[in-house]
Amino acid sequence: MKFLDKFLRNWRVKMCIPYINTQDRVLDIGCLDGYLFQTLKVKSIQKSIGLDPLLQSVVRHENYVLIPGKFPEALLATDHFNCITMLAVLEHIPRQEQQKLNDECYTYLEPSGRVIITVPSPFVDHILWWLSKFRLIDGMSVEEHYGFKVKEVPQLFNSNQFKLIKHKKFQLGLNNLFVFEKQ
């Protein structure tokens, strides 16, 4: 991961930290190297789980475990969380699989649990293409982007089950933070 990749990742993580509470149990979908959990050490979270299909093996740490696999298949039916994060992940999930996210998140969240999502604006794909061409970023899985539309995010989470509590643009308007709460 190049400097610019880390800088952008760190900024996304910084945006979601205020919505994760001390003692939360967190599920980080698309965790990669577990940087979110490393950052959360100051909040004393409960034993948490990170999922990423690119992981080669299980990685265990004191307060979290990183597991190769996809959500929800890699979880046990008894797993429950106060917070589910998907930072720069949703735009990689095929549209037909996104429709199931509402029910799956609802099933795995505790009452009043939160779903925290960051998604880039569509213009970012053009920027990423140029940055990767000049080898300034690794451009992780950019080929999976398909023109995801930010305005579709609130529609993915049924208003009978989730309430949108925050939508905020950041990174000069090129990225979006969404926070939903289970009702």
Bridging pattern class, strands 109-120 and 81-87? parallel
Give the number of other CB atoms < 10 A from CB of residue 96. Answer: 7
Q: How confident is the model at residue 125 (pLDDT cuts 50, 70, 90)?
A: low
Percent of the chain having pLDDT more than 90?
Answer: 63
- Read off the pLDDT of residues 127-159 as tens digits, 9 standing for 90 and up: 555 556 656 556 554 444 456 788 889 999 988
Cα–Cα dist 177/68, whole Å:
25
Which residue from 122, 111, 118, 110 is spatially nearest to 29, judged by alpha carbons?
Answer: 118
Mean pLDDT computed over 36-62: 95
Backbone angles phi, psi at 163, to 5 degrees: -120, 130
Number of domains forming the structure of the chain: 1
The pLDDT, as a whole number, for residue 92 is 81
42-183-156 Cα angle (round to 5):
90
> CA distances (Å), 160 to each of 44, 103, 157, 164, in order?
31, 11, 9, 11
The pLDDT, as a whole number, for residue 171 is 82
The pLDDT, as a whole number, for residue 99 is 80
Percent of the chain having pLDDT more than 70?
Answer: 84
In the chain, at which residue ranges do the beta strands (DSSP E only) sit? Answer: 26-29, 48-52, 59-60, 64-68, 81-87, 109-120, 162-170, 175-182
Give the domain extent around 143: 3-182
Predicted TM-score (pTM) of the model is 0.87
Give the number of other CB atoms < 10 A from CB of residue 77. Answer: 8
CATH of the domain at 28: 3.40.50.150
